[in-house]
Amino acid sequence: MAEKRIIGGSVFIVRGGALLPQGVNHPICPTQPIEAREGDDVTLQCLLDPPVNVVNYTVDWKRTDLRKVVHSYRHNRDHAGPQIAQYRDRTTLSHEDLSRGLLTLQISSVQSFDSGPYRCFVPAWTASCTIELIVVRRDRNQTNRDASSTRPPLEEVTGPNNPYGKSRTAGHAGTIVVFAFVLTLVLGLLMRGTLQNRSQMHQLNTQAADGGEDLERPAEIDLQDVA
């Protein structure tokens, strides 16, 4: 059975020669991945619930996919021995935050190879939680943003079938307009020709009618003269 001690009104449990505050649960980490761009400084943080001073305890940050130590804190100071080479001189653990139950790790100038799961771990409680870090390329982000801000509509993009970058939809519309104009012009000419033909036929009919009357009048006169 674990031994309990009361110090300063707080209850502690003696385990493995260490005094552990009673009621400590586990670190709480963000559930959403942390996203950063190459070259950024990133802060990863876990909160002990309930908060407890862990200045005198061992705290480790590890890459679970690599099974390597990113940062180690032991005996009230940073311990560089087990740290993986790619994080050497690039990590900082806030000692001040440890007194408030915060396990705060800063990684400077992150690169794509820093992407992965990071676990904060307090060995005295065999409790941990994991944060996912995603590092994206800065030039890719910048290119995407520039392209999205200046990119023309898809139908206006130049290509083998559209060398001048004009809209295919606009081209189709222009073709339709030209066709409609030509059709209207042709119909107008046809209607004009029809009207002209009708006018000429009417004139011919009128002249024929007038000529007929002239031919009949002499005949009538002749008959009268004979009578």
Tokens of 224: 């009268």
In a domain, 102, yes or no: yes
* Domain end marker among 96, 116, 141: 141
Q: So what's the pLDDT on residue 220?
A: 45
In a domain, 188, yes or no: yes
| 134 and 203 inside one domain | no
Q: So what's the pLDDT on residue 40?
A: 97
Instruction: Round to whole Å and give the CA distance between 152 and 157.
Output: 7
Q: Which helix (H) or strand (E) holds 34?
A: strand 34-37
Q: So what's the pLDDT on residue 201?
A: 63
| 199 and 114 inside one domain | no
Instruction: Round to whole Å and give the CA distance between 46 and 104.
Output: 7
For residue 85, the 8-state DSSP code is G
In a domain, 13, yes or no: no
For β-strands 34-37 and 127-136, DSSP reports them as parallel
CB atoms within 10 A of CB 177: 10
| 128 and 183 inside one domain | no
In a domain, 158, yes or no: no
The strand pairing partners of 187, in sequence order, are none
| 135 and 182 inside one domain | no
Q: So what's the pLDDT on residue 20?
A: 56
**Identity (one letter) of the amino acid at 226?**
V
Phi, psi dihedrals of residue 68, rounded to the nearest 5°: -125, 155
| 137 and 180 inside one domain | no
| 128 and 208 inside one domain | no
* Domain end marker among 123, 141, 159: 141
Q: So what's the pLDDT on residue 178?
A: 67
In a domain, 220, yes or no: no
Note the helical H segments in the chain: 95-98, 138-150, 168-226
Q: So what's the pLDDT on residue 216?
A: 44
| 100 and 47 inside one domain | yes
| 33 and 135 inside one domain | yes
In a domain, 29, yes or no: yes
Instruction: Round to whole Å and give the CA distance between 222 and 227.
Output: 9
CA distance to 89, 143, 197, per residue, from 193 (Å) = 94, 63, 6
| 132 and 28 inside one domain | yes
Which CATH number belongs to the domain containing residue 57 in this structure?
Answer: 2.60.40.10
Tokens of 112: 């794509």
Instruction: Round to whole Å and give the CA distance between 124 and 22.
Output: 12
Average pLDDT per consecutive 10 residues, the chain (227 residues; last block may be shorter) = 60 56 70 96 92 91 96 94 94 96 96 96 84 89 46 40 46 66 72 64 59 46 42
Q: So what's the pLDDT on residue 5?
A: 65
Omega before residue 50 within 30° of 0, cis: yes
Note the helical H segments in 58-117: 95-98
Task: Give one DSSP letter per residue of 36-62, joined into a string.
Answer: EETT--EEEEEEEES----TTS-EEEE
| 28 and 100 inside one domain | yes
In a domain, 136, yes or no: yes
* Domain end marker among 141, 167, 194: 141
The tally of domains found in the chain comes to: 2
| 61 and 108 inside one domain | yes
| 208 and 134 inside one domain | no
- Tell me the residue range of the domain where 197 lies: 176-213
In a domain, 100, yes or no: yes
- CB-CB contact of 161 with 167 (8 Å): no
